[in-house]
Structure 1
């Protein structure tokens, strides 16, 4: 008998059924954090909760796209802050949003025209929100938009510093981390910053904030990160809710604008399993030399490709202007270069064979769930852990060693291994097995994510009598 899968059609909940069941969501203003928080909001909305989004005016989502949500914006001056140093930006963000978020939440709590708030869910990167929850006597859950495995490594930072692995020394990059036998020192999730002390302070605040929360939500599934989930649950002693993959729990609206459909229109004309999809996310940056080498590697591989080159991907360049004109011509004969592509639709397209990715968690999980093997090129933080696990533990990817200059000859070799070699066939077979496991976890009959989502809904509902009596 075919397994029953969680319905992708949202349940219609009458407005009176939503009375007294409101959840406030507070995402970090980065696309890789906003999207899973919005998806979580949609999931909770289908379960009868009213959803309020509190967001900075910086990089804010368009409220008109989510008419079923209520939006409130924090008017903080962070637009002038550079995002090239993400840690410095997070410091500014946490400092500037503290008072304005507290005031906003206090106003929402006192608003008699809205249904009472059951709890709020903040991104783990907002490290000050635990104090806000205590001050306002409101339950707080945390959404960690990365994987459980990388978060468990973050939780071990004090120990890794004590053992001398951190700060990372150039001479120890290839050394195995004894306490994390699957990782090398170069795989530890750090990032270059002008304020390394705050990096450790931020990680500590993120981990301790999750430990003191009313529960931690992850966009993952039990089977993919079973060992890390078990270890984290024992260490944190707060409820852990692995309810992913979020994007498979909800209907996905296809793009409609011409600049959004170009990639799909082009893919429709390609042969099945013939295209390499190349995209490095919304924050990763390349230097000019790596960018040119990637272009030559794609051209020399002779494989069809879809390459997303977002404005700002290359330092000092708006788009592809740094490439030689002759090379641009060769590339356009073989593939398509776009500024944006609907990634979920691209990965689900039958023409796509391989995903060359920076291994952000959203991209890694989406690739696994669509059964698309990866070429891994991590840039910073948890991407390095994700890439190592994709290659060596789940064995669904090939790739390049982080921190090394990539040369066109190596790029061509790796692409050919993934696209036409026997190794690529084995990886494709394994990733299809993981795709099936991701599908099974959503099943209403003992699916791990289905049951975890049921636990989360019950957990949030249990706050009502406590919270409403104090509001």
Structure 2
């Protein structure tokens, strides 16, 4: 298998890079050569955290773009990424063919369908790495085939809980900013690529069978292989203690939070983080801070803009109770014995990491897939509670949700027990003979067989 070489193309945002790097590590540990293709703006920042052992397994191939994610013109950035990324992919494939060592397969994730189009045009087998839940794959699939209208108040889809309009990805909603109107057509493009295949296409999904059995089973048009959770081994199956971080942080992490966690009582700390991209409105930050002061428990809050802490009206009481950091190793924090609750935007990586750690959550979804993920957490897996949102989730509502998770009553205990049940099932999935290991084996067999 050593001669097989995978080109893994990833969108240059943290939520896409993390599962892509973890998937690359798993493939490399099974004897494949893997090269990551992404933008120079991402790889320059990743270089500070990629370990020497990572580089011994995996190559990183950067390409330059005119714009990056910080631009205000989001559609123009995506077009720029497509233009430069397609050229970089074509050049990479041509170079390997000239060396007589062509890529065996191109793997790409959901916001870069141009990689799938290019792979088909170049005659290289390709696979979509779906880094959202299988439930979201199903939602977009059924929309593509016109099985529901996003304006319907109640939406019933096979293999999914009953959805209301607010449970759909924000790109479907009337409140979606027009600048993101291109996202749905781009996501739908993935199905057009898959449906152009002569044989039943395989999609690898960052989930595990026990978590989404019905959603995975219902979509038999494709072969959905659940190979997750794609998180470091040290915090999942424990098989490789050296694999203790994703290794590609785009933000420099703080260093002073583990001592705080070590000094806190078991399951006492409220961990608050909203990912690498979400920007909370000022009033929302104030409401969360007020709720944390009122509930009176220790907390650790990842606040990427440290100046926000200085502006809080309750700053004096706030800083006495907890710690604010710029960035942290989230899987390390969630796995710590002192963490008892996770207040999250409910991005899929954060959701799956909380499931794998057995930590119940309070969800404050902001946009994209987060409302759907929050629905699954609260109504399907029942390991968290969603804060009811107007334009801003008020402090009273956040306090209500935190108390429900943390008060130690019957509801709290049952939620915590369910969270720990999912943790056990996640670990079973990636253990030897587990469903995710078996599904990864199926995928590897396809590569070896050239299918």
Report TM bin, short chain.
Answer: 0.7 to 0.9
Q: Report how many aligned residue pairs link the two structures.
A: 425
Q: Does 1:253 align with 2:244?
A: yes
Displacement after TM superposition at 1:135 (Å): 2.1
Displacement after TM superposition at 1:255 (Å): 11
TM-score normalised per structure 1 = 0.84
Could you say what secondary structure the match of 2:309 adopts?
coil
Q: Using the alignment, how far apart are the partners of 2:246 and 2:40 within structure 1?
A: 25
Q: Does 1:207 align with 2:196?
A: no
Question: Which stretch of the first structure deviates more once superposed, 187-196 or 408-417?
Answer: 187-196
1:11 match: none
Q: Does structure 2 retain, via aligned residues, the 8 Å contact 1:346–1:352?
A: yes
Cα pair distance change 1:87/1:379, threshold 3 Å: farther
Displacement after TM superposition at 1:352 (Å): 0.5
Q: Using the alignment, how far apart are the partners of 1:424 and 1:91 within structure 2?
A: 47
1:14 match: none
1:44 match: 27
1:469 match: none
2:310 match: 321
2:281 to 284, 287, 290: 287
2:428 to 440, 446, 459: 440
TM-score normalised per structure 2 = 0.87
Displacement after TM superposition at 1:153 (Å): 0.5
Displacement after TM superposition at 1:197 (Å): 4.4
2:67 match: 78
| Structure 1: gaps (5+ residues) | 1-16, 167-171, 312-316, 467-471
Displacement after TM superposition at 1:72 (Å): 1.6
Cα pair distance change 1:254/1:120, threshold 3 Å: closer
Q: Using the alignment, how far apart are the partners of 1:412 and 1:460 within structure 2?
A: 50
Cα pair distance change 1:88/1:149, threshold 3 Å: farther
Q: Using the alignment, how far apart are the partners of 1:255 and 1:158 within structure 2?
A: 33
1:271 to 249, 257, 265: 265
Q: Does structure 1 retain, via aligned residues, the 8 Å contact 2:64–2:84?
A: no
2:14 match: 31
Q: Using the alignment, how far apart are the partners of 2:267 and 2:322 within structure 1?
A: 14
Q: Using the alignment, how far apart are the partners of 2:196 and 2:86 within structure 1?
A: 18
| Structure 2: gaps (5+ residues) | none
Cα pair distance change 1:369/1:380, threshold 3 Å: same
1:62 to 37, 43, 47: 47
Map 1:210-249 → 2, pairs under 5 A: 210-212=194-196, 214-232=201-219, 234-236=220-222, 239-247=223-231, 248=236
Q: Does structure 2 retain, via aligned residues, the 8 Å contact 1:268–1:351?
A: yes
1:385 to 349, 355, 372: 372
2:142 match: 156
